[in-house]
């Protein structure tokens, strides 16, 4: 750990490089896919997010922080916002929802990482950002948005008894989860996120470095 601490100014590249490569592979090379078929694919699709959390947590703090935050806002307003709208319009014309779904997940990841990076540039420790990032990932994969869709969508007739679209839950349950199962899945992830936030990771790191 001491060696890693000594080379911390470059450690962020260990997460940023694989995150960029995996994101390019998923977003550009592979065709858009709305459904996860197994746990291996679930982990593969999640891996760029995890690597990017590591990059944000180890990014060097310095005087360029304000400029980087403003640049992040420019990227969102100058590209991501319009790109998402264009994909929604394309979906209305061609019915390719997988393209919209894939890009929406990318935007969600971007927003979470933007918050983590701003937190880091504002002075947060690596251990703290990693802890917050892990909790945020747990919330993202908790199925909260799937239950939100079940509640807020204007269904024709009664609401469905199962969440057939929540493939990231299906890979764990083996079939479309019922609403109670999805709620339990959500609560488990929220509890885990709370546990992660409560862990004294910073103290553990300080004790390890002191040795």
Judge whether residue 201 has pLDDT over 80: yes
Judge whether residue 39 has pLDDT over 60: yes
Distances (CA, A) of 102 to 106, 111, 176, 191: 6, 15, 20, 27
pLDDT digits (tens, 9 = 90+) for 49-107: 999 999 999 999 887 889 999 999 999 999 999 999 999 998 988 888 999 999 999 99
* pLDDT value for 211: 72
* pLDDT value for 4: 56
Average pLDDT, the chain: 92
d(CA 72, CA 160): 39
Q: Count other Cβ atoms within 10 Å, centred on residue 206.
A: 12
Judge whether residue 7 has pLDDT over 70: no
d(CA 172, CA 17): 29
Q: Phi and psi (nearest 5°) for 162?
A: -130, 155
Judge whether residue 187 has pLDDT over 70: yes
pLDDT digits (tens, 9 = 90+) for 114-173: 999 999 999 999 999 999 999 999 999 999 999 999 999 999 888 999 999 999 999 999
d(CA 152, CA 191): 24
Q: CB under 8 Å to 183, separation ≥6 — which residues?
A: 147
What would the DSSP string read from start to end of 151-182? Answer: HHS--SSSPPSB-TT-HHHHHHHSSPPBHHHH
Mean pLDDT of all residues in 25-49: 94
d(CA 80, CA 12): 24
* pLDDT value for 205: 85
Mean pLDDT of all residues in 202-210: 84
d(CA 3, CA 56): 19
* pLDDT value for 139: 97
Domain ranges (residues) in the chain: 2-210
């Amino acid at each position: 750990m001491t060696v890693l601490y000594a080379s911390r100014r470059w450690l962020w590249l260990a997460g940023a490089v694989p995150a960029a490569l995996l994101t390019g592979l998923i977003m550009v090379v592979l065709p858009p896919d709305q459904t996860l078929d197994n746990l291996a694919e679930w982990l593969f699709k999640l891996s760029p997010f995890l690597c990017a959390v590591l990059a944000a947590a180890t990014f060097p703090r310095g005087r360029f922080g304000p400029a980087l935050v403003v640049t992040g806002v420019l990227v969102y307003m100058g590209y991501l916002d319009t790109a998402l709208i264009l994909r929604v319009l394309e979906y209305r014309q061609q019915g390719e929802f997988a393209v919209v779904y894939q890009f929406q997940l990318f935007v969600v990841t971007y927003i979470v990482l933007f918050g983590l990076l701003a937190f880091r540039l504002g002075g947060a420790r690596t251990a703290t950002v990693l802890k917050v990032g892990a909790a945020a990932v747990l919330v993202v994969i908790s199925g909260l948005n799937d239950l939100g869709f079940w509640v807020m969508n204007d269904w024709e007739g009664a609401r469905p008894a199962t969440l057939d679209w929540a493939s990231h839950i299906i890979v764990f349950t083996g079939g479309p989860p019922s609403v109670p199962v999805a709620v339990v899945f959500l609560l488990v992830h929220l509890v885990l996120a709370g546990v992660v936030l409560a862990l004294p990771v910073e103290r553990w790191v300080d004790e390890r470095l002191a040795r």
